[in-house]
Amino acid sequence: VDEALRCKTRILQNDGVVTSPCARPRKAGHTLLILGGQTFMCDKIYQVDHKAKQIIPKADLPSPRKEFSASAIGCKVYVTGGRGSENGVSKDVWVYDTVHEEWSKAAPMLIARFGHGSAELENCLYVVGGHTSLAGVFPASPSVSLKQVEKFDPGANKWTMVAPLRDGVSNAAVVSARLKLFVFGGTSIHRDMVSKVQCYDPGENRWTIKAECPQPWRYTAAAVLGSQIFIMGGDTEFTAASAYRFDCETNQWTRIGDMTAKRMSCHALASGNKLYVVGGYFGTQRCKTLDCYDPTADTWSCITTVPYSLIPTAFVSTWKHLPA
């Protein structure tokens, strides 16, 4: 896995061109996983079976929670923070190994948080923003949106603080692309919707404002294909079905085809050369489809229906190298 991640970093640094001999004969096997439950309290992991167009239960979450964040590094899923069944805010980090299909616990975060975002960058995990609990208040009441950002090194099993956000946000879309972190929108410390794109450069340990979003938004989904970041849905001033493409090189926005349904708090990822989006709601209606976006045709299609008993709360893609 370490060798694979080093190859992946070299490919990203080289504009996606594969020059490393070790990368040529191998293929990456991607597994799409949905985390969710019968309520917004997540208690299970499900696997998406592309061929059978089914969503299959895989494993129970050892400690059910809501308003957490989940990201994948290689073949492992990292579930960070959130609020448990008693509504307390957690520092816990649970790790699901998709190869051995077992859970373990990693070192806890430095700050208990919920409503945060997370992303993998250069084989490390970053958690960004969110809320923590007000001291002495139980059940937990949200604090102002956090500026603090933490970095986790899986090899050392250690968390460190890095440069804080320019503007504290919760419920923002967080992704990595072109060896940088990008944070889109979110809820500000004043409870307003944010329209800024904040970018973190790990080499400089510094955040900058890269661009303004086409509209203020929060509870959006984001996924990355190459140097293009796709943002969709959310709580916006316009339609919750809208989707956009952000070019990391030019910092320019392009409107793409609308999704098949309006979705707030949906979840998205990229696999192969396609985007997938699942979950979310609009008003009192839950979105019950797993949809696919083809950027070449600029079209959306339905892959399958999500079981009625499943409310998706996170969506991740793990990967490992397959034999040649």
Residue 219 CB coordination number (10 Å): 24
pLDDT at 3: 63
pLDDT at 9: 61
Which ranges constitute the DSSP H helices of 109-268?
none
The number of distinct structural domains making up the chain is: 1
pLDDT at 8: 60
pLDDT at 19: 46
The helix/strand/coil state of 287 is: coil
CATH of the domain at 206: 2.120.10.80
- CA distances 306 to 140, 249, 265, 270, 277, Å, are 31, 36, 15, 18, 11
Digit-coded pLDDT (tens) for 13-25 = 554 444 454 544 4
In this predicted structure, the answer to whether residue 227 has a pLDDT above a threshold of 80 is yes
pLDDT category at 51 given cuts 50, 70, 90 is confident
Digit-coded pLDDT (tens) for 147-188 = 999 999 999 999 999 999 999 999 999 999 999 999 999 998
pLDDT category at 145 given cuts 50, 70, 90 is confident
pLDDT at 85: 67
293 backbone dihedrals φ, ψ, rounded to 5°:
-115, 130
Instruction: Work out the average pLDDT over 27-50.
Output: 88
Digit-coded pLDDT (tens) for 91-112 = 999 999 999 999 999 999 999 9
* Most confident range, picked from 19-23, 214-218, 293-297: 293-297
What the block records as the tokens of 63 is 């400690």
Looking at per-residue confidence, does 313 or 18 come out higher?
A: 313
For residues 154 and 169, the answer to whether their CB atoms sit within 8 Å is no
pLDDT at 67: 94
In this predicted structure, the answer to whether residue 57 has a pLDDT above a threshold of 60 is yes
Write the CB contacts of 6 (distance below 8 Å, at least 6 apart in sequence).
Answer: none
Write the CB contacts of 52 (distance below 8 Å, at least 6 apart in sequence).
Answer: none
Compute CA 143 distance to the chain's CA centroid, rounded to the nearest angstrom.
Answer: 22
Predicted structure pTM score: 0.88
Look up the domain containing 217 and give its range. 1-321
In this predicted structure, the answer to whether residue 295 has a pLDDT above a threshold of 90 is yes
For residues 267 and 299, the answer to whether their CB atoms sit within 8 Å is no
What the block records as the tokens of 315 is 């969506």
